[in-house]
Amino acid sequence: MSNNKIPMRRCVGCMTSKPKKELVRLVAADGRPRVDSAGKANGRGVYLCADVECLEKALKRNALTRGLSLSGLDGETKDIIRSEFAGNL
């Protein structure tokens, strides 16, 4: 990559690196991933493309729990994340 001025982050769903501002940041709060819509929440974050398919890929490979050091996500929690994520696209 020639342009190293743009901060790049890797999507934990499709594993593609993209400019940080094109990605959605998620952080751990209250024991579950939450969309950090302002991009300013403290702590460890993971990034996803603004694409529900990348969220699904990340859920399937447990990339959110691993990246955010969470123990696991039940179905209800996953649905909350799905709607939160979709609401931020």
Among 24, 26, 46, 54, which residue sits at the site for Zn ion (rule: CB under 5 A)? 54
User: Scanning residues 1 to 30, which ones bind Zn ion (CB under 5 A)?
Assistant: 11, 13-14
Backbone angles phi, psi at 85, to 5 degrees: -65, -50
Toward Zn ion, which CB reaches closer, 28 or 54?
54
Whole-angstrom Cα distance, residue 69 to residue 76?
Answer: 19
Largest CA distance in the chain: 43
CB 87 within 8 A of CB 37: no
64 near Zn ion (CB under 5 A): no
Stretch that binds Zn ion, among 34-42, 51-59, 69-77, 81-89 (CB under 5 A): 51-59
Binding site for Zn ion (CB under 5 A): 11, 13-14, 49, 54
